[in-house]
Amino acid sequence: MLIDKKHIGMKVPPHSVNLTAWQLKWFAKATGETNPIYFDEEAAHKAGLPGVLAPPTFFFCMDMDKEHPFDYLETMECDLGKMLHGEQSFNYYKPIYSGDKLDFDGEITDIYDKKNGALQFVVKEVKVRRQGEVVGDLRSVMVIRA
Interaction of residue 27 with other proteins, rule CB under 8 A? yes
What's the min distance (Å) between Cβ of 31 and other proteins?
4
The residue from 7, 8, 20, 69 that contacts other proteins (CB under 8 A) is 69
Interaction of residue 102 with other proteins, rule CB under 8 A? no
**What pairing do the DSSP bridges indicate for beta strands 83-92 and 133-145?**
antiparallel
The residue from 68, 82, 101, 114 that contacts other proteins (CB under 8 A) is 82
Interaction of residue 45 with other proteins, rule CB under 8 A? no
Interaction of residue 64 with other proteins, rule CB under 8 A? yes
Contact yes or no for 117/40 (Cβ under 8 A): no
Interatomic CA distance for residues 120 and 145, integer angstroms: 7
